[in-house]
Amino acid sequence: MSDTDRRPEVRALAHLGLSELAGAAEGTHRVHRAISDRVFAGVRLGVGSAAAPVKALHDGITDGVYLTIGTVAETAGRVAAVAADLPLTAAPSETVRGATLIGVVQGLIGDELAATGSVLTRHPTTVRVDGRIVELSPGPVAAAFPAATHRLVVFLHGLVETEHAWRIGSEPAFADRLPKDLPVTSVMVRYNTGLHISENGRALSDLMEQLVAAWPVPVDDVVLVGHSMGGLVARSAAHHGAAVGAQWVQRVRVTVSLGTPHLGAPLEQVAHYASAALVTVPETAPFGRLLRRRSAGIRDLRGGSLVDQDWRGRDADALGAAAAAEIPLLAGATHCFVAATVTRSLRNPIGRVVGDGLVLAPSASGRGRLRRIGFREENGMHLDERITSRCCTTRPSTNGCEVGSAAHRSPTDLSPRPQESAPPPGAPRARCRRPIRARPYTCHWSRR
């Protein structure tokens, strides 16, 4: 790695951090001033003009302090933009911690950074191996994937994440274990989660077309696995690819959405209306403006928007229902989803309100009162807060449960279904319950 790879990112991060510090000082100043103005206005009602000298002294001191902090931070940021450096062996974007930091920044204001040409967004959508970008031409792809197979499983992370998020809480990571269990190749994609979902979808479609063309062996099957926002990006990419006649779309056999807000995320809906309320009051207006800085990608989560027409030419801060065109699932593929709740039952009031903490079960399953995405119930699964090791859709039998359906295997396993035997002696006991609505029984092989 050369200094030209490392220094631009280090300097961009340092400049951004100090600039945001200056902005925070300005925002705090506005809140302080709005509160003090209201207090002095009340005091003036009681003591009259005698409060004027005190207010002038207070304003002069506070204005000077905040101006000094902001100026120093802004000046330091300018210096850092041309001189900052760290003794790193790799560019921040190629390390786990650096990529995680950049991923968070992109998720929050990635569209703003892209509009200004920030070096932190110069590679918006890429295939990564060990944090490094894989050039999408035959030679580099063959070198990056020496054990390439005919079946690709493409992993798409969620908001403010990178491909490293797939390794959280799992050792070894699921994407690393999968090729050991099945004849597939895991492909990790990183993208700027602050951009519109439709923009990322277009970029992903173009990337997949290049990847399939450069793949060392003919690609027969493609599986798209998306967590949260990643599931929406996968749908958008498939829609765009089908519209332009992309070849890679014809190879998509399965898509898997993990906690994806297909019908929108309530937290973004709260932020949307909260920002509108906060900007109307001087004391809270800076907080409202801060909320309104949230990225286009976050805003798209309000209704699960997938295409340009959902946002182009529209006021992003306008109140009312979110614009979300009804985009059908890709024809000819099997579409699976996983919905989670913090409670054991989907019918639990807390589970209904909280969902998995970010996404409600109806949104994850694409089945709301007014909108239906088109998932088949037998291709869905509900997870609760308990740790489970294996899940399977089952058929009733004499003991109330029978192992052996497609969902018991990996969603990427499209081979003929084998006859499976009963669990071995000492294996965890099967626990059956009814999942989403009227779907058949679901078994969870659990240690509890």
- CA distances 353 to 35, 347, 348, 349, Å, are 35, 10, 9, 6
CATH code: domain of residue 224: 3.40.50
Tell me: do 82 and 95 sit in the same domain: no
Q: What is the DSSP string of 375-441?
A: --GGGEEEE-SS-EEEEEE----TTS-----GGGS-TT--SPPPPPPPPPTTPPPEEEE--STTPPP
Return d(Cα 113, Cα 130) in angstroms, integer.
25
Which residues fall within 8 angstroms of residue 238, CB to CB, at 6 or more apart? 205, 224, 249, 252, 255, 330, 333
Q: Is residue 216 part of a domain?
A: yes
**Contact in structure between 329 and 374 (CB atoms under 8 Å):** yes
Tell me: do 34 and 110 sit in the same domain: no
pLDDT tens-place values along the chain, 448 residues long: 455 679 999 999 999 999 999 999 999 999 999 999 999 999 988 888 888 999 999 999 999 999 999 999 999 999 999 999 988 889 999 999 999 999 999 999 999 999 999 999 999 999 999 999 999 999 999 999 999 999 999 999 999 999 999 988 767 788 888 998 899 999 999 999 999 999 999 999 999 999 999 999 999 999 999 999 999 999 999 999 999 999 999 999 999 999 999 999 999 999 999 999 999 999 999 999 999 999 999 999 999 999 999 999 999 998 877 778 899 999 999 999 999 988 887 788 888 888 888 999 999 999 988 889 999 989 999 886 543 333 333 333 322 222 223 333 344 443 433 333 444 444 444 343 434 333 332 323 223 2
Q: What is the tens place of the pLDDT at every residue in 126-165?
A: 999 999 999 999 999 999 999 999 999 999 999 999 999 9
Q: Is residue 446 part of a domain?
A: no
Tell me: do 108 and 167 sit in the same domain: yes
Q: How many domains does the chain have?
A: 2
Q: Is residue 252 part of a domain?
A: yes
Q: Is residue 304 part of a domain?
A: yes
Tell me: do 205 and 136 sit in the same domain: yes
Domain of residue 139 covers 90-332
Tell me: do 202 and 190 sit in the same domain: yes
